Amino acid sequence: MESRWTSVIILVLSLFVLIFFVGQVFFAGGEKVVTETAFTYSMTEDVPFEGVFLRNETVVYSSGGGVLDYEHSDGSKVGKSSVIARRYRSEADIERRREIEKINEQIAVLTDAQRLAGTDNNQLETISSQINERHSLILESLIDGNYAAAQDQETAILGVLSKREISRGDVASYEAKISSLRSRVSELEAMLSGDVEDIYAGGAGYFVSGVDGYEGRISFDDADSITADRIDEILDKPKLSTDSAAVGKLIADYRWRVAAVIDSELLFGCYEGGEVTLRVRSDPTPIKAEIVSITDTGRGDGTAVYVFECATLTSSVASGRTAQFKYIVNSYGGLRVSRSAIRYNDQQERGVFIVQGGKLVFRKIDVEYWGEDYIICAQVPDDGYLKLYDKIVTEGKDLYEGKVVE
């Protein structure tokens, strides 16, 4: 009888132990949590303003009929004897000239590849490496949205592909193709309706194809005299009537200035001679600038005329008379984390829980910026800190180090 009761007690205790462990696995382990991945993120605090460019500019003139085709993009540096534009009889002539130039490039490429005809193929490895390099450059340009740079690689990749065909014996000769292309060039040249007039730069500088009528009316040296009213006037009417014979203009120097009316409270702490960072709204390139002068407008509204001097000339600052700017107050970069993920450990260190191997692990964070619903954390090399691509827990109950979660 006693033995039977002992067996019953052992059975009951075994059931309790089994239920306990099953409960632990079911309730304490595998609990669901909401996570997000730690990605890099950047943001800036800025003050927007609209400014007027102050530059020393000279208009380039050329009278006559026809259609102009510019040889340089806006902001390109040109020498005194450079051809800045060509005048054609018609748009059709421009298209024919462009086709002729493209065909001549193809002829040069195929002629170069033709020299490998009949030689051994010991250059194949080098040629294959060049093809891969060109493909990579094209892909990088496309990813960056630089389609012009991708197109520039077209002739280069045609050249290495042609060399590979010749070296492997896929093509015996390009003579027939070259002859056909030369015939096409002769046809196009016969279709041209007249001579082409070259237009030269009158001096050295940075060329811009457009004029606005302010050339010679405001200059680089007007920093001390330009007023708030004059700035508002130009912003209201950034283009005046211009001479129809004007082909473009030359900017004398890569240095330029921009004048703007800004609320002084927004730029508190700025001073003449101080270095700042600007950004044109249409261009993500940061521009280092020096504050040349700060002059009260006299309007009694806390505004002042700020003049900035810069030495980074891009097409976005060369082509217009006015532009929308951002004065960069602060710039932050790091790992973006939702504020709901922030926790504190037993040592009252700020951090987050991440999921690692199905368990919760505490990682410290070094906060660089506090946003309304997110923070930006520095990427600290120490293993105890949050890392890129960590799975951060943003929602969950009873979180602790080592807890098993899904």
CATH number at residue 369: 2.40.420.20
Question: Could you tell me if residue 79 is inside a domain?
Answer: no
Distance of CA 337 to the CA centre of its chain: 24
Question: Could you tell me if residue 137 is inside a domain?
Answer: yes
Cα separation, 351 vs 151, in Å, equals 48
Domain boundary among 332, 357, 383: 332
- 310 shares a domain with 357: no
Cα separation, 38 vs 379, in Å, equals 11
- 315 shares a domain with 262: yes
- 187 shares a domain with 112: yes
Domain that holds residue 220: 47-62+203-332
- 207 shares a domain with 187: no
DSSP state of 380: -
Averaged over successive runs of 10 residues, the pLDDT of the chain (406 residues) comes to 52 52 51 91 91 94 86 89 89 88 86 72 71 77 72 74 76 84 90 84 91 92 94 94 87 94 92 93 86 95 96 86 93 93 93 93 94 93 93 92 88
- Number of structural domains in the chain: 3
Question: Could you tell me if residue 312 is inside a domain?
Answer: yes
Question: Could you tell me if residue 375 is inside a domain?
Answer: yes
* 162 within 8 A of 109, measured Cβ to Cβ: yes
- 224 shares a domain with 174: no
State the Rg of the chain over Cα: 34
Q: Return all residues near 335 (Cβ < 8 A) that are at least 6 apart.
A: 38, 39, 40, 41, 365, 376, 377, 378, 379, 386, 388
Place of tokens 């050249």: 159
- 322 shares a domain with 246: yes
DSSP state of 226: -
Q: Return all residues near 149 (Cβ < 8 A) that are at least 6 apart.
A: 137, 141
Question: Phi and psi at residue 353, in whole multiples of 5°?
Answer: -95, 135
Domain boundary among 332, 350, 377: 332
Domain boundary among 308, 332, 356: 332
- 337 shares a domain with 318: no
Question: Could you tell me if residue 1 is inside a domain?
Answer: no
Neighbours of 57 (CB within 10 A): 24
- 210 shares a domain with 108: no
What pLDDT shows up at residue 207?
94
What pLDDT shows up at residue 12?
47
Q: Residue 150: enclosing H or E segment and its boundaries? A: helix 147-168
Question: Could you tell me if residue 283 is inside a domain?
Answer: yes
> Tell me: the pLDDT tens digits for 209-257?
989 999 989 999 999 899 999 999 999 999 998 888 899 999 999 999 9
- 321 shares a domain with 236: yes
Cα separation, 30 vs 360, in Å, equals 11
Neighbours of 328 (CB within 10 A): 16
**What is this structure's pTM?**
0.66
What pLDDT shows up at residue 8?
47
- 365 shares a domain with 271: no
Question: Could you tell me if residue 70 is inside a domain?
Answer: no
What pLDDT shows up at residue 376?
95
- The angle at the Cα of 155, spanning 149 to 161, to the nearest 5 degrees, equals 120
- 317 shares a domain with 209: yes
- 232 shares a domain with 320: yes
- The angle at the Cα of 214, spanning 283 to 294, to the nearest 5 degrees, equals 65
Question: Could you tell me if residue 405 is inside a domain?
Answer: no
Cα separation, 185 vs 101, in Å, equals 9
